[in-house]
Amino acid sequence: MNFVPAQHARVLSGMRPTGRLHLGHHHGVLKNWVELQHEYDCYFFVADWHALTTHYEDPSIIPESIWDMVIDWLAAGIDPAKAKIFIQSRIPEHAELHLLLSMITPLGWLERVPSYKDQQEKLKERDLATYGFLGYPLLQAADILIYKAGMVPVGEDQVAHVELTREVARRFNHIYGREADFESMAEAAKKKMGKKAAKLFSQQRKAFQEQGDQAALEAARNLLENQQNLSVDDRERLSGYLEGSGRQILPEPQPLLTRASKMPGLDGQKMSKSYNNTIALRDAPETVEKALRTMPTDTNRVRRTDPGDPARCPVWQFHEVYSTEEVKSWVQEGCRTAGIGCIECKQPVIDAVLEELKPMQERAREFEEQPDLVRSIIDEGCKAAAKQAGETLAEVRQAMSLNYR
Ligand code: TRP
Ligand code: SF4
């Protein structure tokens, strides 16, 4: 892999506390997080304030949901030695940045975010005509920008929020990254890199600005990142000089689109708590086995002797996730010729799901038995996050002339 500058190598993602997680979360999100933590500096947080934007009426269920969710993260293999795990509301810097960004965010940008109208439609029974709900994508922008994250793993529905984050960052840099004598300060900063690096930087900047040469842009970014003797301010001046018109105080993140999970629910729809078709990561093996044994099959197979069609059967979708090619052709053949029964057909799925859950449940049990350990993992994560968030906020205050001390 190519060298990635430190700030771009930071990955951040959050999840609302919805309680115990299920196989849909595992296949759709957590497996991806687990992979990312080996390669990048990862920050994973519990978005408890986000839960309040839609569920402000009964927050009393949030605390338990947080513990359950964090234990499931750990059970799924998020490693606190590799990734920072923390809780949004424990880092009040998110709120201050949200407030400051709200000053420069046009209302129209928020009203146009697709989830604003969609969610209001979907959650009709709730009154979502609130200030908090309108501002929630901006809170998400603050979550991302406070850590200067370069990559944000999200699903399709959240890409628009990362896009908004990019626009807000650009606007912030444009308004507050300007300095009266920006050019000459950038030129002075460039000299500090030494003759050779300064010359290379100038060539790369020219190639990018005049010909849109992306490789030159990458190279110049790497060059900056590797300069030992540049202050933070100078580095930001030079990256702004390279790409735009002012200092780049808040870098623009990229969405890291996670492949849509193919995990079906027990009824063949997408697995989701609201459809009541889930297998939770911590469901007892007997419960899992019973749920799979009683799940619906092709409704045309009334009797054992009736042939069926896997395309009409939710069990087949489980085979698509869990079975080898060999097992899959056994299903296709056996179902269509009534050569196998449905219970028989479900057995390899039952075995595979139980096998997948077993190590997770063992890890979950370890953490359930040591609540103090879980608490200290979160404390550590919060401490590291607060440090990073504090540094960014200090720069933001400085850029906005809010440093009165
Ligand atoms: N809004 C996201 C969701 O509802 C959760 C979230 C909050 C998030 N802040 C974030 C995701 C920052 C990625 C980055 O799923
Ligand atoms: Fe579904 Fe398998 Fe039964 Fe066919 S044999 S209907 S694929 S459970």
Strands of 35-75 (E only): list them: 41-46
Phi, psi of 151 (to 5 degrees): -135, 135
Spatial CB neighbours of 246, under 8 Å, sequence gap ≥ 6: 173, 174, 176, 177, 178, 179, 182, 240
What is residue 2's predicted lDDT score, i.e. its pLDDT? Answer: 40
pLDDT tens for 155-204 read: 888 999 999 999 999 999 989 988 778 888 999 999 999 999 999 999 99
331 lines ligand 2 (CB under 6 A): yes
Average pLDDT value over all residues in the chain: 93
pLDDT tens for 277-292 read: 999 999 999 999 999 9
- The burial class, CB within 10 Å (0-12 / 13-18 / 19+), for 257 is middle
* Band of pLDDT at residue 24, cut at 50, 70 and 90: very high
349 lines ligand 2 (CB under 6 A): no
C-alpha of residue 206 to centroid of ligand 1, in Å: 37
Q: Which atom of ligand 1 is nearest to the CA of 139?
A: 9
* Band of pLDDT at residue 81, cut at 50, 70 and 90: very high
Instruction: Please report which ligand is nearest the Cα atom of 337.
Output: 2
Question: What average pLDDT score do residues 38-50 get?
Answer: 97
70 lines ligand 1 (CB under 6 A): no
What is residue 126's predicted lDDT score, i.e. its pLDDT? Answer: 81
Query: How far lies 96's CA from each of 91, 116, 165, 294, in Å?
Result: 10, 22, 16, 51
Ligand 2, atom 4, residue with closest C-alpha: 335
C-alpha of residue 291 to centroid of ligand 2, in Å: 15
> What sign results for the dihedral spanned by CA atoms 315, 318, 319, 320?
positive
Spatial CB neighbours of 62, under 8 Å, sequence gap ≥ 6: 17, 48, 51, 52, 55
164 lines ligand 1 (CB under 6 A): no
Spatial CB neighbours of 161, under 8 Å, sequence gap ≥ 6: 113, 115, 137, 140, 141, 154
Instruction: Please report which ligand is nearest the Cα atom of 13.
Output: 1
154 lines ligand 1 (CB under 6 A): yes
Does the pLDDT value for residue 1 go beyond 80?
Answer: no
Query: Which of 224, 236, 174 has its CA nearest to residue 200?
Result: 224
Instruction: Please report which ligand is nearest the Cα atom of 155.
Output: 1
Q: What percent of the chain clears pLDDT 90, i.e. is strictly above it?
A: 80
Contact at 8 Å (CB) between 103 and 142?
Answer: no
Give residue limits of the domains in the chain: 6-177+257-261+371-399, 182-243, 282-368
Which listed CATH number (1.10.10.10, 3.40.50.620, 3.40.50.1000, 1.20.1090.10) goes with 6-177+257-261+371-399? 3.40.50.620
DSSP H or E segment with residue 15: strand 10-15
pLDDT tens for 97-148 read: 999 999 999 999 999 999 888 888 888 888 888 999 999 999 999 999 999 9
Mutate to test the pocket of ligand 2, among 342, 346, 350 (most ligand atoms within 8 A of CB): 342
Mutate to test the pocket of ligand 2, among 266, 294, 309, 331 (most ligand atoms within 8 A of CB): 331
Q: Which atom of ligand 2 is nearest to the CA of 313?
A: 1
Residue 121 to residue 384: CA distance in whole angstroms: 39
Q: What number of H helices and E strands is found in the chain?
A: 19, 5
What is residue 6's predicted lDDT score, i.e. its pLDDT? Answer: 58
* Band of pLDDT at residue 12, cut at 50, 70 and 90: very high
47 lines ligand 1 (CB under 6 A): yes
Q: Which atom of ligand 2 is nearest to the CA of 319?
A: 7
Contact at 8 Å (CB) between 274 and 284?
Answer: no
377 lines ligand 1 (CB under 6 A): no
List, in sequence order, the alpha helices (H) in 264-370.
285-293, 314-322, 325-336, 342-368
Q: Which atom of ligand 1 is nearest to the CA of 155?
A: 15
Q: Which atom of ligand 1 is nearest to the CA of 161?
A: 1
pLDDT tens for 248-270 read: 899 999 999 887 777 899 999 99
301 lines ligand 2 (CB under 6 A): yes
Radius of gyration (Cα) for the chain, nearest Å? 25
C-alpha of residue 288 to centroid of ligand 1, in Å: 29
313 lines ligand 1 (CB under 6 A): no
Residue 162 to residue 154: CA distance in whole angstroms: 9
Ligand 1, atom 3, residue with closest C-alpha: 15
Spatial CB neighbours of 281, under 8 Å, sequence gap ≥ 6: 20, 21, 22, 23, 25, 26, 72, 75, 76, 357, 360, 361, 364
pLDDT tens for 342-390 read: 999 999 999 999 999 999 999 999 999 999 999 999 999 999 999 999 9
Residue 374 is encoded by which pair of tokens? 């879980």
With both helix axes pointing from N to C terminus, report the angle between 342-368 and 314-322 in degrees, rounded to the nearest 10. Answer: 60
User: For 282-368, CATH number?
Assistant: 1.10.240.10
Strands of 167-267 (E only): list them: 254-257
* Cβ contacts of 340-345, under 8 Å, gap ≥ 24: 341/304, 342/297, 342/301, 342/308, 342/315, 343/293, 345/297, 345/315
Residue 384 to residue 12: CA distance in whole angstroms: 13
Instruction: Please report which ligand is nearest the Cα atom of 304.
Output: 2
What is residue 403's predicted lDDT score, i.e. its pLDDT? Answer: 86
Contact at 8 Å (CB) between 305 and 335?
Answer: no
